[in-house]
Structure 1
Amino acid sequence: MGVILKQSVQNTVISYLGVALGFVSTILLFPNILTADQYGLTRFLLSPAFVFAQFAHLGIKNVVIRYFPYFKHTRDSRSRLFTLTVLVAMVGFLIFSLLFFSLENILIDYYQEKSPLFTEYYLYLVPLVFAILFFETLNNYVRALQDSITGSFLNEVVMRVLIIILLIVHFFDFISFELFMVGFVSSYCLQPLYLAVYLYRRDELTFSNPINDNIRRLAKSMSVYGLYSLLGGITVHLVGNIDIIMLGSLSDLANTAVYAIAFYVGSVITVPQRSILKIAIPVLADLIKEKKHEQILNLYRRTSLNQIIAGSLLFIGIWANMHNLLGLLPEAYQGAKWVIITIGAAKLFDMATGINGGIIMNSKYYRFDLYTNILLVILTITTNYLLIPTYGIMGAAIATAFSIFVYNAIKMVFVWIKFSMQPFQWTAPVVLLIAAVCLLLSFEIPYLFNFYFDVILRSLLIAIVFLGSILLFNLSDDLKSLVNETLKRTGDLLHKK
């Protein structure tokens, strides 16, 4: 757990810095600088771009993580794997481009009535897909080298800083909205370029003939795994983005903007999850390869508990400060409260189930992930189609939450049956009970003078009571170790001074 805990903490710090920057851009700047239609356009371009990028990588993104342990021992074998990775991604992008330009008229006709602004910028999808495809592919190779920090910092911090700069420049009329959109897309294109330079400096950006005996021996299993992970990845991203995509056609870009903000806030609680998974999954792949069942179980349960603790704290913190949050948004965004709570609850359940998806995807049962994903896509599209016309953005939230719950429940039960392990310990319900009590107590706290005092003091009180209770009842060894290590380092620093 050493490397996982260390990089998880580093990723969490980076992610929270990214959340702070995201708060500035998403809550303070985007809705107050762009019109609802314009902001909805930026979200609406990204959602299909992420889905298309999942198709374009042809499964190679996940193959890198799964099979890197077989190639990591020599520079030559890593070079062959890297070359294969880039070539497959390039082929996937060419296939996407051919399909996109063949079907562009259908795409325009579908969104012309409800989201006409999209039809003016739909070509921006092509460079966005390229940027997302190669960032995710190269970043997974970097993660396979057990460096989860570089990609996190680039995606969570650098990207948000660039977007904030673009928004400010547009606000002062130095650039038009058209140039803002050019800069918006270009900022995504900088990510894979930076990773290419990073790999070059590490002497990992090397190309050679990707075919050798090792590749031939693993070719069949890599191809099958890549195919299933491709189909599974597309379905996962469809589920994660279909609400935005369907809102654009069944509603309009203004409602898409409101939902995007609500979804962003509700998803803030997953910051610790992303930090943990970035390093836990590569380590898990090694453990599964070595068939270390006890260590896998230990990793499964500890990541689940740590995610429940972090996710619960953020969830009750957001709910307790809902009045402050909505006070920062324009009138058009005031209907976001229950969307935020619904999405947040679903994300908390997703975190609570731990790394069940990683266990399935890195085992011989990885095909099962595809079957559940196909079922989930059908369920998500159906529920969104039925609920959005009647309930609008709340319908999209209910459909998404229901899909997340079903998806994770199925995977958790499957892991329980096939691997005789489940993520929960007796401490999990105790943590949730403490969180519920803290939330109820926060409702009794009156408004404290002004916005800044209220946010800081209310959040601080919740954090002290929640984390203090967990430490008092000794519910998490990792939290206890983290606190002790922090106190020790602080003491050493003060002693040196």
Structure 2
Amino acid sequence: MCYTQSLHHSVTLLGIVQRQGIRNALISYVGLAIGFVNTILILPRLLTPGQIGLTGLLVSFATIGAQLSAFGFGSAGLRYFPYFRNQGRNHAGFLPLLLGLPLLGFVIVAGVMSLGQPFVLRWYAAEDATLLSQHYGVAILLAGAIMLGALQDAYLKSLFHTSFSSFCQEILLRLLIVGAAVAYSAHYISFAGFVLAYAGAYAVVALLLAGYLAAIGELHLRPTRAALRIKPLGEMLAFGGFALLSNISGTVLLNIDNIMVGAKLSLAAAGIYLIATNISTALTLPFRALNKTAFSLIAEYWKENDLAKMGLFYQRVTRVNTLLGCYLALGIGLNLNFIFGLIHRPEYAAGSSAVLLLLAARLVDGITGVNATIVVTSPRYRFDLLFNITLASAVVGLNWLLIPRFGLAGAALSYGIALVSINVVRTWFVWRSYGLQPFDGRIARILAVAVVAGLAAWALPETSNAWLTLLLRGGVLTVLYTAGVLLTRAAPEAVTLWTDLRKRKFTS
């Protein structure tokens, strides 16, 4: 009887996870589309580079503050909640435990951020420092909202209720931000009101998640002593500390460029660099989609100790990432004039060289496959922390040296050098430790086809009509790249897809 109930529970749980996964995928793609439209087409038209730089800087400070406050308890919650699940109606007081220490941490971090304001303002030019000082307090409030939202999101993931949280963070948040920008551009609110509304959007998400937890009967805020008996607090703190170090290095990597560009150059330059970063991020979308699947599969291969299957999967993902990444990188790089033309603010085009350097770095990151996933799921997972800390430290040091010399391109070059270097080391580490490496002659053929197709499309002269130039270059790139990949048989996946399409055409 117990076995039957357990089996039924497992099947039900699998069905829930599958349904949530499908919904989350749809929400993510819609959110990414909205995010692209917001950050490339709408916000740069409504806000000046300095205003975008300021809001980006506030979010960067707040994100780092939120990570420090949470002390890795979001990851600890995902790790330890199964031990608390169904231990009484309130899961043995897990939620107060999950929120308690981070709230105490936020009080400390908020105090440090407040006391450190004069020190932070010293990094920036007088005019930028004056603007930042007027809105600095918002970063502290924003850190609290981001922290609470992230912790509740982790709790909902543990409960297998993820769709509403994904909707709030991926879609609603972006719509609220662009709504605030429209209200500011229409003179319904001041810029100070826009900054408050920007931070308020994150607070709205946190409140809605709390409301959703109440609606599903999972908002248990009464603390219990039982929570301390199920798992030792020291063990959770140790795991949280490890997670904090790992997470904060990734957070620094994603935010330090913007902070240092603002400090070394100006808030306006930080705004231009932020838009350049957002444009290059479009290249990572297929990598993220593939890596979501890769994580669970590679973890399963480690469980089965099946390095042969893992090696084949490693090669396949690397090949597909190379195939898609080269095409997208060329498509974006060849049409930068068109993309910046859509913004209708010529000052943002100063980020063109930064976009190209960032595209190259992200392409190498994708081509090296899933080396980071293999490391973090392997028995030697602690080395991933070393790699992340080294990467974050390298980015900070290189930014310090290169931004004053090369401006926005220096920030992008710093990111590129650090990212390429750490991926070379990771790839070597996986090969040296487990005998796995993802490269073969097919990768070289894809790269050769990409070079030929890219040069042919680049050689086409620009016309007076931007849309016509886009169609001509995009068309030549697509035809030559597709034909080259098929003729050289560099990617079996592409050949199979082409064969299936031809069969459907002739049978229909």
Cα distance change on mapping 1:291 and 1:203 into 2, 3 Å: farther
Q: Which residue of 1 is the match for residue 12 of structure 2?
A: none
Residue 255 (str. 1) matches residue 269 (str. 2): yes
Cα distance change on mapping 1:278 and 1:57 into 2, 3 Å: farther
Supply the distance in 1 between the matched residues of 2:208 and 2:436 (Cα, whole angstroms).
Answer: 40
**Contact 2:253/2:392 (CA < 8 Å) preserved in 1?**
yes
**Contact 2:85/2:91 (CA < 8 Å) preserved in 1?**
no
**Contact 2:283/2:328 (CA < 8 Å) preserved in 1?**
yes
CA offset digits 1:87-129 (Å, max 9, x no partner): 3433332332232233233223443626221111111112221
Cα distance change on mapping 1:321 and 1:285 into 2, 3 Å: same
Equivalent residue runs for 1:258-407 within 5 Å: 258-278=272-292, 280-281=294-295, 284-285=298-299, 288=302, 291=305, 293-294=307-308, 296-329=310-343, 330-407=345-422
Supply the distance in 2 between the matched residues of 1:445 and 1:9 (Cα, whole angstroms).
Answer: 41
Q: Which residue of 1 is the match for residue 255 of structure 2?
A: 241
Residue 227 (str. 1) matches residue 223 (str. 2): no
Q: Which residue of 1 is the match for residue 231 of structure 2?
A: 215
Supply the distance in 1 between the matched residues of 2:83 and 2:443 (Cα, whole angstroms).
Answer: 38
Q: Which residue of 1 is the match for residue 114 of structure 2?
A: 101
Q: Which residue of 1 is the match for residue 102 of structure 2?
A: 89
What amino acid maps onto 2:246 in structure 1? Answer: G
Secondary structure, counterpart of 1:421 in structure 2: coil
Q: Which residue of 2 is the match for residue 42 of structure 1?
A: 55
Q: CA deviation at 1:138?
A: 3.5
Unaligned runs of 5+ in 2: 1-14
Supply the distance in 1 between the matched residues of 2:212 and 2:498 (Cα, whole angstroms).
Answer: 33
Q: Which residue of 2 is the match for residue 25 of structure 1?
A: 38
Cα distance change on mapping 1:487 and 1:146 into 2, 3 Å: farther
Q: Give the counterpart of 2:133 among 109, 114, 119.
A: 119
Q: Give the counterpart of 2:436 among 418, 421, 429.
A: 421
CA offset digits 1:426-472 (Å, max 9, x no partner): 43333333332332222244446733344356435534554565566
Equivalent residue runs for 1:3-18 within 5 Å: 14-15=27-28, 17-18=30-31
CA offset digits 1:322-381 (Å, max 9, x no partner): 121232342322222111010111111222233333333344433322323333333222
Supply the distance in 2 between the matched residues of 1:66 and 1:319 (Cα, whole angstroms).
Answer: 41
What amino acid maps onto 2:177 in structure 1? Answer: I
Secondary structure, counterpart of 2:383 in structure 1: helix
Q: Give the counterpart of 1:167 among 181, 187, 197.
A: 181
Identity of aligned residues (%): 29
What amino acid maps onto 2:196 in structure 1? Answer: V
**Contact 1:114/1:250 (CA < 8 Å) preserved in 2?**
no
Between structure 1 and structure 2, the one with the greater Rg is 2
**Contact 2:84/2:230 (CA < 8 Å) preserved in 1?**
no
**Contact 2:125/2:266 (CA < 8 Å) preserved in 1?**
no
TM-score normalized by structure 2? Answer: 0.81
**Contact 1:63/1:226 (CA < 8 Å) preserved in 2?**
yes
Q: CA deviation at 1:215?
A: 2.5
What amino acid maps onto 2:52 in structure 1? Answer: Y
Cα distance change on mapping 1:167 and 1:411 into 2, 3 Å: same
Cα RMSD (Å): 3.9
Secondary structure, counterpart of 1:173 in structure 2: coil
TM-score normalized by structure 1? Answer: 0.83
Supply the distance in 2 between the matched residues of 1:213 and 1:38 (Cα, whole angstroms).
Answer: 50
Q: CA deviation at 1:408?
A: 2.2
**Contact 2:124/2:266 (CA < 8 Å) preserved in 1?**
no
Unaligned runs of 5+ in 1: none
CA offset digits 1:391-447 (Å, max 9, x no partner): 111111111111111222222222223333234454333333333233222224444
Q: How many residue pairs get matched?
A: 487
Q: Give the counterpart of 2:447 among 432, 435, 439.
A: 432
Residue 63 (str. 1) matches residue 79 (str. 2): no
Secondary structure, counterpart of 2:126 in structure 1: coil
Cα distance change on mapping 1:107 and 1:368 into 2, 3 Å: same
What amino acid maps onto 2:56 in structure 1? Answer: R
Supply the distance in 2 between the matched residues of 1:86 and 1:279 (Cα, whole angstroms).
Answer: 30
Cα distance change on mapping 1:123 and 1:484 into 2, 3 Å: farther
Secondary structure, counterpart of 1:115 in structure 2: helix
Supply the distance in 2 between the matched residues of 1:215 and 1:394 (Cα, whole angstroms).
Answer: 49
What amino acid maps onto 1:215 in structure 2? Answer: K
**Contact 1:146/1:282 (CA < 8 Å) preserved in 2?**
no
Supply the distance in 2 between the matched residues of 1:306 and 1:150 (Cα, whole angstroms).
Answer: 31
Greater relative contact order structure (CA < 8 Å, 6+ sep):
1
Supply the distance in 1 between the matched residues of 2:416 and 2:479 (Cα, whole angstroms).
Answer: 29
Supply the distance in 1 between the matched residues of 2:238 and 2:306 (Cα, whole angstroms).
Answer: 24
Cα distance change on mapping 1:19 and 1:211 into 2, 3 Å: closer
CA offset digits 1:156-188 (Å, max 9, x no partner): 433322222222222221221111111111112
Supply the distance in 2 between the matched residues of 1:77 and 1:282 (Cα, whole angstroms).
Answer: 31
Supply the distance in 2 between the matched residues of 1:376 and 1:301 (Cα, whole angstroms).
Answer: 24
Supply the distance in 2 between the matched residues of 1:387 and 1:39 (Cα, whole angstroms).
Answer: 23
